[in-house]
Structure 1
């Protein structure tokens, strides 16, 4: 499958599995899963196309259930789902990539999930730079996850390694130069 088709399918999957399953007549279960056969029918895809996109997505945005009969987005939902991720002790420092133009608001309000369910954090600066680059000139913020965890903040890690938490107050943020 060519790259253009792969990207188109990936974007459709993100839209349906993270934001608007009803647009194609699907309903996610409480954990965000939908039956693969129903998704294939709704999006007019072959299983080979779906398998290709899931396997080659560099961010591992989608995951199959253990039996391969269901699929869901790994995180990033704007619809209410409970991914069932256990609280996990984070590394001492996590990272958040953002656009430079967002810094004033972040320093005032901290990191908020906005339309999503969680704030997304990265375990490495390279990923944070990539994320921040999507919105303009990237800036990477270090998050003092150890201090947050000690203060009772809960962290979870998604199937594709994205760290999730409810909010990050400004006092836990340090810009990296």
Structure 2
């Protein structure tokens, strides 16, 4: 599948699985899962297109799972703005995590910290390169911030790690943010 088509399909899949399942006449279960056959019909795509989009997504945004009865289901790894329970268990984070954003957002972040906005969590990366790639989604100059995750954990903040390796937390107060190297 050509890259631009895969990007468009990935965005439609994210919309259906993370933000607006009703727009596609889909109903996510409590954990955010939907039957693969229902998903294919709703998005009017083939299984080959789905498999290509899941396998080719550099951020591994989607998970396909085979159930004991042979049925398959799909969900987004994280980033939902609709209510779902991902079943994540709190984990000890690495000492530092990173957040990529635009330079235009920096003043607001320095004033109030990182907040989840309409999503369930703030998304953090385990390395600077990934954070930089995430930050490129925003217009303008990319800025990478270092999060003192060890200090946050000592202060009682909880961290979760999604299936695709993204670290999640409810918010990052300003005192735990620093400019990345």
Structure 1: which 5+ runs fail to align? none
State the 1:120 CA deviation: 0.2
Q: Distance in 2 between matches of 1:156 and 1:83?
A: 10
Runs of 4+ with deviation above 4 angstroms: none
What is the TM-score normalised by the length of structure 1? 0.97
1:88 counterpart residue number: 91
Distance 1:162 1:61 in 2: 10
Q: Within 5 Å, give how 1:1-177 maps onto structure 2.
A: 1-67=1-67, 69-135=72-138, 136-177=140-181
CA displacement at 1:5 relative to structure 2: 2.1
TM-score (norm 2): 0.94
Stretches of structure 2 lacking an aligned partner (at least 5 in a row): none
How many angstroms apart in 1 are the aligned matches of 2:98 and 2:5? 32
SS in 2 for 1:171: helix
Q: Helix, strand or coil: the match of 1:96?
A: strand
- Give the Å deviation of 1:45: 1.0
Structure 1 counterpart SS, 2:54: helix
CA displacement at 1:131 relative to structure 2:
1.3
Taking the aligned partners of 1:167 and 1:66, their CA distance within structure 2 comes to 33
- Alignment root-mean-square deviation, CA: 1.1
* Number of equivalent positions: 177
**Distance apart, 1:66 and its partner CA:** 4.0
CA distance in 2, matches of 1:124, 1:112: 20
Moved more, 125-134 or 155-164: 125-134
